Structure 1
Amino acid sequence: MTTTRTGFTDVDRLVRDLWTTRTARPAARPETGFSPAADVYRDGDDLVARFDLPGVDPASDVSVEVQGRRLVVSGERKDTRTGSAEGARVRETRYGSFRRVVTLPRTASGEDVSARYDAGVLTVTVGGVLAGPATHRVTVESGPAPVVEHAETAPEESAEEAQA
C-alpha cells in the first residue's frame, strides 16, 4: 500500500487533531472567560445597546455604569451546575467575568440611562444622545431692501474734530 502525501496532508492532520482533541478532552481544560454578544443601534434620538446574557442574575451579577463617555456593562456568568464536569463529552457554554464598553457620543450626560433585562437579553437605553442641535427657523422677509441713510459731514468739521 502506497501513502500519497500532498501539500495539505500536514494541514489536514493538524485540523483533525485540533477538533478531535477539543471534543475528546473538553473537561480536562475548560474554556474560561465570557464575552456576551452585543448589538448597538439608534432608535430615534436614543442609543440602544443589547447584550445577550442568558443564565445571568441581573440583580446580583450585572453592573451598568456610565463613566464619562463610556457605557460599561460588566458582571459574571456563574456556573451553577452541581456535580463534576468529568463525564461531559462536549462543553461549549462559557462562564466567567465579562466587561463590554460602548463609547458614547459627546452629548451623553449619563442622566437619562435605563436598563431592562428580559428573556436573557439586557437592553440599555441612553436617551437623547443622538439628537442633533435644536433647529431654529429664520423667517425670510420679502420686498425691497431697506434704505440706509448715510449722513455726510462737511470736510471742515471732520478736520476740526480730528485735531480736538
Structure 2
Amino acid sequence: MTTLKRGQRFPFPEVPDWFENLPARFAMPTMGELYTIRIEDYTEDGRYVVRAELPGTSPESIDVFISDGVLTVQAERTEREVDKNHSEIRYGVMSRSVTLPSGADEDDVTADYTNGMLTVSVGLGAEKPSAKHVEIKHGG
C-alpha cells in the first residue's frame, strides 16, 4: 500500500472533490435532503469554539441549540427563482451536531454570524464531573 508523505498531493486530486459534491445522504444516513454543514472546532481562552460555513444563508434561517451536551446548528438556504444554466450550490436544510467537551457550561453560550461564518462559543468553566467508583457485587 502506498502512503502519502507530509505535503505530498493526493495522486488523483479530483477524487476528494467527487465526494465533496455528493449530497450528504450518500455519505451518511439522513432524513430526506438534509445536508451536513462543514465545521471546525477548537479551544481558545477557556472556551470551546465551533465555526460553521454558512455562506448565502440569512441569519434568520439559522438555529443554534444545545440539548443533553450536544450542540446543534441547523440552517436553511433557499433557492432563488431564476433560470439557471448551471448550479453547484446546495439548497435546503443543513444540520450539524457536535458533542460538547466535558466541563462545557450550557448556560454560557454566544453566537455570531459574520461574512457567512457562524461562530458559537461555549464557556468551559463548569466543574468537570469526577470519576465515580462503581462497586462490583459478586453473585452467589
Match of 2:83 in 1: 84
The answer to whether the aligner puts 1:40 opposite 2:36 as a matched pair is: no
**Secondary structure at the residue paired with 1:107?**
coil
> What is the rounded CA distance, in whole Å, between the counterparts of 2:93 and 2:81 in structure 1?
19
Match of 1:21 in 2: none
The one-letter amino acid of 2:47's match is D
More strand by share: 2
Structure 2 length as normaliser, TM-score?
0.62
Match of 2:124 in 1: 128
The percentage of counterpart residues that share the same residue type is 35
Unaligned runs of 5+ in 2: 1-32, 130-140
Match of 1:54 in 2: 55
The answer to whether the aligner puts 1:69 opposite 2:69 as a matched pair is: yes
**Secondary structure at the residue paired with 1:92?**
coil
Whether the aligned pair in 1 keeps the contact of 2:34 and 2:95 (CA below 8 Å) is no
Match of 2:132 in 1: none
**Secondary structure at the residue paired with 2:35?**
coil
The answer to whether the aligner puts 1:94 opposite 2:90 as a matched pair is: yes
The answer to whether the aligner puts 1:107 opposite 2:88 as a matched pair is: no
Deviation at 1:63, TM superposition (A): 0.5
Counterparts in 2 of 1:102 and 1:46: CA distance versus 1, 3 Å: same
Between the two proteins, the alignment pairs up a number of residues equal to 98
Matches within 5 A, 1:144-159: none
The one-letter amino acid of 2:45's match is G
Deviation by residue 1:116-140 (Cα, 9 ceiling, x = unmatched): 000010000001258879xxxxxxx
The one-letter amino acid of 2:99's match is T
Deviation by residue 1:73-121 (Cα, 9 ceiling, x = unmatched): 0121111x23233xx1x32111110110010123223100000000010
Structure 1 length as normaliser, TM-score?
0.53
Deviation at 1:44, TM superposition (A): 2.5
Deviation at 1:72, TM superposition (A): 0.6
CA RMSD of aligned residues (A): 2.4
Unaligned runs of 5+ in 1: 1-31, 134-164
> What is the rounded CA distance, in whole Å, between the counterparts of 1:131 and 1:118 in structure 2?
31
More helix by share: 1
